[in-house]
Amino acid sequence: RRNAEDLQALLADKMYSWSNLREACRDRSTRPVIKHCEQNALKKAHNARIDDDVYNQRSMSETVFAMLKDDGDEIRSRSWHGQFRELTRKCIVHNLEQAAS
């Protein structure tokens, strides 16, 4: 919830294609970049209008999360601040490993 007012777009896959979620995003001036489940021609047309470059950023973030889980799938710190620091360290190590390879 920190900095939620700065959220400009929400990227998600078809599993999160709920009209309530889309409405909540629009109420907060956040652009929902979520493909529709293609049940009819109108929804297929909506999917065709989504910018693929923007939508594909979703898969990049999912890849990073999967890689972070491979390095240890749990955070051991109890406090919020400790969890934040631990996750930050994991991200730094991940970025260093990617830069070195």
**In the prediction, which pLDDT does 2 show?**
66
- Residue 49 amino acid letter: R
- Residue 9 amino acid letter: A
**In the prediction, which pLDDT does 53 show?**
85
Q: Coil, strand, or helix at residue 79?
A: coil
Q: Coil, strand, or helix at residue 63?
A: helix
The answer to pTM > 0.75 is no
Does residue 1 register a pLDDT over 60? no
CB 49, CB 28: distance < 8 Å: no
Q: What is the pLDDT of residues 37-87, one digit of tens each?
A: 878 898 888 888 888 888 888 887 787 777 777 766 677 888 888 888 888
Helix locations, the chain, DSSP H: 19-27, 41-49, 52-55, 57-70, 80-100
Does residue 19 register a pLDDT over 90? no
Helix H or strand E segment including 10: strand 9-12
